[in-house]
Structure formats: structure tokens, C-alpha cells
Amino acid sequence: MWQIPKKVSLVSGHAEGETELSTFDKALLAAGVGEANLIQVSSILPRDVEFVAMQQFVAGLLLPAAFQFIISHHPGEVITATIAIGLPQNPAESGVIVEHTVSGNSALGEAKARAMVEELFAARQRKLGEIRVISSEHRVVKLGCAIALAVFWPD
């Protein structure tokens, strides 16, 4: 049975590789989650979640995470993956997580992700308190990947 997460870590990474798989794997390693079995979850942040630094874990751990990545084969292209978390003014309410990628810099990706958080709060008729953002920006040499994640911890 799954538990409601108590903690979340915002992490990101980027890398170059020879294949899409190795590039993605190297970006996961750079983000600190390359030895986990990620389980992609949708975009709700439970209430009362504490933001923490990346935690130690045993290789092979099933690790829930909201994440987005982008891979490009275009040398010179700037790619960005962004996670934005909207926290409500009312601590009894849940927050939202937006995952976004863009061919462009982190400022562009973060602006779009922030706007998406605001839209999701409006759709829920909730008042937005704070937005926390993490991005990974990468200039492609040959084959590049950027990834951003919100990693959930049970305790």
C-alpha cells in the first residue's frame, strides 16, 4: 500500500551521451536519482509536505517522482526541463506540481511553468501562496538531455 509522502526534494541534472538512453541515464545520475527505479506520478503535492535536500537511498528503491525531461540531437540548441510547485495560502489544501520542457533557456521555461501553476490554482479556486522552481538548462554538444524532478519520500 502506498503512503502519502511526507517530504519532497527538488533535483535536476543534465548530460551528454552517445544514445538517447545513455544521455537520459547520465542526466538521472547528475540529478542524484540514477540508481533509483522511478515511478512517475501526476501533479499533486500533498499538504504538510516538507521540502528537504536529496536523501540517501538503497539502489533499486522504488521512488515516486513527478518529472519531465527533454532530449535533443541539435548541436548548439539550449534545452530546459523545469518543475514548478505551487503552494497554497491555506495549509489545509494540497499544492500542484507543473512539469515543463522547452527549447530555450531556464528563464523561458520557468516563466511558462509559473504561469501554468497560476492557471491550475485558478481552476481549483484556491489562493496561491508561493511557487518553488527548479530547472536544468543544457546546451547540446551532440546529444543532450535535461531533467527536473520532484522526488517524494515517505518519511
| Residues tagged active-site | 37, 42-43, 99
Q: How far apart are CA 111 and CA 135, in angstroms?
A: 11
Nearest residue to 83 via CA among 122, 48, 31:
31
- First vs last C-alpha separation in the chain: 15
Contact 146, 17 (CB under 8 A): no
The separation between CA 131 and the C-alpha centre of its own chain, rounded to angstroms, equals 13
**Residue ranges in 12-105 assigned as alpha helix (H):** 20-31
Contact 84, 131 (CB under 8 A): yes
Q: How far apart are CA 75 and CA 110, in angstroms?
A: 23
Q: How far apart are CA 154 and CA 65, in angstroms?
A: 12
